[in-house]
Amino acid sequence: MTPTDERPRRRLSEAQEAEIRALREVSHPTRRATVPALEEILYEPLPVLDHGFVRVIDYMGDDAAIVQAARVSYGRGTRQARGDAGLIDYLMRHRHTTPFEMCEIKYHVKLPIFVARQWIRHRTANVNEYSARYSVLDREFYIPAPEHLAAQSTANRQGRGGVLGGDEAARVLQILKEDAARCYAHYEEMLNEREDGTPIDPARTGLARELARMNLPLNIYTQWYWKCDLHNLFHFISLRADPHAQYEIRAYAEVLLDTVRRWVPVACAAFENHVMAGARLSGAALAVVRRMLAGETVTREEAGLSRREWAELMILLGREAAESA
């Protein structure tokens, strides 16, 4: 059994590649709104991590659909790009979310199981996952690049600290590869079935697939179809594309964000401005800002903020070096 980096790997099976070619060769006349920039990448696998991908499978609506829903009009919004952009910006700024729910998109995602377990916590989408009870999982495992092997953070229980050194990182990578190869070899042995579907020992009956899968590690890849409306997709991206999110799921969120830029560029620009690059303040934090603007010197104790909220506020204001203690 060889580790994942010692043989060529395909992000898609031959059958999937053939299906994509067939789908992209066909076009359908429609009266529905379509988005040329998104049509360009429809069905195409966008690489993520070492073996993963994101594919746009289908979508409904565009920027004009958001405007149409907000105005409950019969046409395509105001037909004035400037007016439509202003309305979308207003909706995003004031958190009027339902017009964004009128747009939906469906993805095919290939991802490590431990990333999928984070992803599935977002319960506002429709999901259908590859079944390891029905089919045999591919021999594909996520092996991090050395620059992504970091020690446990001392300040954040769910975050990473400094990058591991050369020898230590090499040992971790060796463990990951050996464990993955060993677990998959035992998986095949219990199934009595090779990766290509042929029996290992024709005289032996294999264990049921639903049981044989239980020793597989969390870095093996799974796949699913994931359908979400635009409002909830924005919420997912706001959390998972954040710099504090785990790198592996952030890599997927950044690809999703790129597809949204193609799909609804006006709505996405408003989202990136007001949500990704914006900030929300508590009443107490806002009071501190107002006092500072009035020329007052404000201390954390006077403001009544916790050390964490005070530090976060100072970072937002660009004053962390002098006032975050």
- The reported pLDDT for the residue numbered 322 is 46
Beta bridge partners of 52: 48
Per annotation, catalytic residue among 213, 240, 250, 300: 240
Query: What's the Cα-to-Cα distance from 125 to each of 107, 194, 231, 232, 275, rounded to whole Å?
Result: 11, 34, 11, 8, 20
- The reported pLDDT for the residue numbered 79 is 55
Separation of alpha carbons 163 and 240, rounded Å? 21
- The reported pLDDT for the residue numbered 321 is 46
- The reported pLDDT for the residue numbered 6 is 43
Q: What is the mean pLDDT of the chain?
A: 89
Burial class of residue 197 (count of CB atoms within 10 Å of its CB; 0-12, 13-18, 19+):
exposed
Contacts of 215 (CB under 8 A, 6+ apart): 183, 186, 187, 190
- The reported pLDDT for the residue numbered 80 is 65
pLDDT tens profile 92-134? 999 999 999 999 999 999 999 999 999 999 999 999 999 988 8
Structure-model confidence comparison of residues 86 and 15, the more confident one: 86
Does the pLDDT at position 5 exceed 50?
no
- The reported pLDDT for the residue numbered 234 is 98
Q: CA 7: distance to chain centroid?
A: 27
- The reported pLDDT for the residue numbered 74 is 58
Q: Which domains does the chain have, with CATH numbers?
A: 4-142+219-276 (3.30.1360.170), 283-323 (no CATH)
Q: Is 31 marked active-site?
A: no
Whether the CB-CB separation of 296 and 71 falls below 8 Å is answered with no
Residue type, 95: R
Largest separation between any pair of C-alpha atoms in the chain: 85
pTM for the predicted model, two decimal places: 0.88
